[in-house]
Structure 1
Amino acid sequence: MGDERVPRGIDVTRPNVARVYDFMVGGKDHFAIDRMAAERALEIMPDAREAGRACRAFLRRVVRYMAADAGIRQFLDIGSGLPTDTNVHQVAHDVDPDARVVYVDNDPMVLVHGRALLATEQTTTVIEGDVRTPEKILDRQAVRERIDFTEPVGLLLLSILHHVHDSEDPAGIAATLRDALPSGSYLAIIHFWDPAGEHPEISAKVRDVERVFNETMGTGRWRLREEIEGYFGDFEMIEPGLVPLADWRPDGRDDADQKDTHYTMIGGLARKR
């Protein structure tokens, strides 16, 4: 994207998480500063592009499972990021065109592109919100208009909690959101994974990538498995549990198989009893 097409309010002097991710998955909505940050990360972790594509494949499979197998008809996607080739509402609408989706993000570029994409959608909207203030998201009128919290909800926290600093209480944020969900709801999480103790030879490389992320974008926290598991609370994990993304119910339909990124990110889905 050339700077002449920069939407108002967009800072192109600093790299941006959503735009760096967009670059990693082959999108078009990024700038030179984002590509520079991405290339620095790729020098240490060359499989980062594959990890980005694996995230999208995981999203498709997990939403498909919730909509087709679990009968979920309303989704709240917090930290949704820039629209890509397949989005939550498109996957859900393949199962039921009346499924309702609310996207939440605090990035102005995400909001501009999301609203353009959804201009003709009646069941889906995108709102401004910050995961660090979950109560405000839950109280938004646009959320309450589309999400009925007396019926099961599919909550997506995909690649967002690892951008919340420890001091910002990611466990408390996750607990607040879990508590708002009724019985029968589902929670999906993708998170950067530090496999220290399981794969110590990878952990050192992870620390280098974490340093680059924080130097360039100010966020990015690779956490241990037990920390990530804690974000699910007492929800019942859906098989196969919290695993490398490619291992979560592969169906042969996605080409992002994360062959070489088993120790980069993990994800899972859990149900509230």
Structure 2
Amino acid sequence: MFRSENGVSEHRRVANEINTAVAHPARMYDYYLGGKDSYLADRVAVQKVLRVAPEVRLMAWENRRFLGRAVRYLVADAGIRQIIDIGVGLPAAGNVHEVAREIAPETRVVYADNDPMVLAHANALLAGSGPTCAVPADLRKPEEFLDDPTVRELIDFNEPVGLLLVAVLHFLTDGEEPAGIVRTLLAALPVGSFLVVSHATGDLCPEVTAQVATVYDTATSTLTVRSHAEISAFFNGCELVDPGLVRVPVWRPDDKSPKGHTKVWIYGGVGRKI
């Protein structure tokens, strides 16, 4: 799985493709979560963020917990057996295929990301793990992803799919038309499929989020925070599952009284295509 045609390991080739001098959101997110797959530029950027918004580390963890609860809902409650996770980021505890297969081992999962480091780590994690794959894909080109033969081999687009766009749409600018991208992806899925979105918002702490966004201006992807109404629009054509689009710690929490949720400026929700 890791060998290129000339025998050079995928990890070695990927290392040559990574720009370590510029902060990358996936590596920054890994560092927020306490991971070690980051470089000096990433760590410097994270420290700048935490100086103005120390709650961001909590937010990263709450977003990760939301992802796990959403996947459990899809598989255990909604009966979904195939999942597409776009903008997956670096592997961490409670990966989607691991959470899903604790409930239904036959669940098929496609991970997609445009970062070579993410893909190298994902492929290493997935070696021998069953009906799961990681494919290179740019969210800005949804048609190419949908036409990918590996995706088509693993995912049956005649059966309901769980589409995960978790903490990724805020790395698209308005000019890149994220709503249109979501529409294209949803159009390829049958009725009864589910959309999972989490997204940073400027509604709750506008001055702080503006300062955080300036740090990402020098990263490989900028940060575009959006309002509750703008994020809700991604679910057009879907019926939101209770409790709707809310701060991620209070979306079906394991603890009925989550601590620190007022500090979190990420909305999350799950919608069923109708």
Native 8 Å contact 2:250 2:261 kept in 1: no
Q: Aligned pair 1:220/2:228, yes or no?
A: no
From 260, 263, 267, give the equivalent of 1:261. Answer: 263
Q: Which runs of 5+ in 2 are unaligned?
A: 1-11
Q: Aligned pair 1:241/2:244, yes or no?
A: yes
Cα deviation for residue 218 of structure 1 reads 4.0
Q: Which amino acid aligns with 1:259?
A: H
Q: CA 1:79–1:105 in 2, change beyond 3 Å: closer, same or farther? A: same
Q: CA 1:257–1:12 in 2, change beyond 3 Å: closer, same or farther? A: farther
> What is the percent sequence identity of the aligned residues?
44
- Counterpart secondary structure, 1:56: helix
Cα deviation for residue 251 of structure 1 reads 1.3
Matched positions, count = 262
TM (normalized to structure 1)? 0.92
Q: CA 1:150–1:144 in 2, change beyond 3 Å: closer, same or farther? A: same
Native 8 Å contact 1:102 1:143 kept in 2: yes
Native 8 Å contact 1:47 1:260 kept in 2: no
1:1-273 matches, cutoff 5 A: 7-195=15-203, 199=204, 202-252=205-255, 258-262=260-264, 264-273=265-274
CA distance in 1, matches of 2:77, 2:221: 39
- Counterpart secondary structure, 2:37: coil
Native 8 Å contact 1:54 1:258 kept in 2: no
Native 8 Å contact 1:245 1:258 kept in 2: no
- Counterpart secondary structure, 2:182: helix
CA distance in 1, matches of 2:30, 2:172: 19
CA distance in 1, matches of 2:57, 2:37: 15
Native 8 Å contact 1:51 1:258 kept in 2: no
Structure 1 segments of 4+ aligned residues over 6 angstroms from their partners: none
- Counterpart secondary structure, 2:263: coil
Q: CA 1:258–1:77 in 2, change beyond 3 Å: closer, same or farther? A: farther
Deviations along 1:15-70, one digit per CA (max 9) or x if unpaired, are 11100000001111111110000111111111111000111100100000000000
CA distance in 2, matches of 1:169, 1:122: 35
TM (normalized to structure 2)? 0.92
Q: Which moved more, 1:207-216 or 1:236-245?
A: 207-216
Q: Which moved more, 1:68-77 or 1:202-211?
A: 202-211
Q: CA 1:137–1:12 in 2, change beyond 3 Å: closer, same or farther? A: same
Cα deviation for residue 258 of structure 1 reads 4.7
- Counterpart secondary structure, 1:67: helix
Q: Which moved more, 1:70-79 or 1:28-37?
A: 28-37
Cα deviation for residue 215 of structure 1 reads 3.0
- Counterpart secondary structure, 1:182: coil
Q: Which amino acid aligns with 2:261?
A: K
CA distance in 2, matches of 1:258, 1:81: 24
